[in-house]
């Protein structure tokens, strides 16, 4: 089915000047950018977005990292977009990410891991609404 998913190009990848290279990977896989904006998140923005992780030990580092510079937030649309985006990204920890995935190629650590992608249709709906409205 045609789906929409939320993708974030994180501060580390924006600093590396690879927004275009990352979007090209999505486009070559048949995903289309249907919304997009470069934004600098406030702490409140980042805490709200990652609310499900607020009890985790890495939460403060995650929020600090995500507010450390601009991010490119986008909505990708296409056939099985949620799973396809996750395949293109690779494992959360770049040490475990398969060759040819974005995190293998661009991520430095589990914190500075280049991209975020919605993990389910429920989170995609919430995350798209969070940045782009209902």
Q: State which H helix or E strand residue 37 sits in.
A: strand 32-39
> What one-character DSSP code corresponds to residue 103?
H
71 binds ligand CMP (CB under 6 A): no
Choose between 61 and 79: whose C-beta lies nearer to ligand CMP: 61
Is 116 strand, coil or helix? strand
Catalytic residue among 72, 116, 117, 124: 116
Task: Report the distance separating Cα 11 and Cα 13, nearest Å.
Answer: 6
62 binds ligand CMP (CB under 6 A): yes
**One-character DSSP codes across 54-75:** TTSTTHHHHHHHHTSS-EEEEE
Choose between 78 and 90: whose C-beta lies nearer to ligand CMP: 90
58 binds ligand CMP (CB under 6 A): yes
Shortest Cβ distance from residue 92 to ligand CMP (Å)? 5
Cβ–Cβ under 8 Å, residues 104 and 98 = yes
Contacting residue, 92, 123, 130, 132, with ligand CMP by CB under 6 A: 92
Task: Report the distance separating Cα 124 and Cα 11, nearest Å.
Answer: 21
Under the rule (CB under 6 A), what is the footprint of ligand CMP?
Answer: 53, 58, 62, 92, 110-111, 113, 116
Residues annotated in a binding site: 10, 58, 86, 92, 103, 113
Residues annotated in a binding site for ATP: 10, 58, 86, 92, 103, 113
């Amino acid at each position: 089915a045609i789906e929409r998913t939320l993708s974030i190009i994180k501060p580390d990848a924006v600093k590396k000047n690879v927004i275009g290279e990352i979007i090209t990977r999505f486009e070559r896989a048949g995903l289309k950018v249907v919304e997009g904006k470069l934004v600098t998140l406030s702490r409140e923005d980042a805490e709200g977005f990652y609310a499900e992780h607020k009890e985790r030990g890495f939460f403060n580092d995650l929020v600090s990292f995500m507010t450390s510079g601009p991010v490119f937030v986008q909505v990708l649309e296409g056939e099985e977009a949620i799973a396809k985006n996750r395949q293109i990204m690779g494992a959360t920890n770049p040490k475990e990410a398969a060759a040819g995935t974005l995190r293998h190629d661009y991520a430095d650590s589990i914190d500075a891991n280049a991209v975020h992608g919605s993990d389910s249709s429920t989170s995609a709906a919430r995350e798209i609404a969070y940045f782009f409205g209902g």
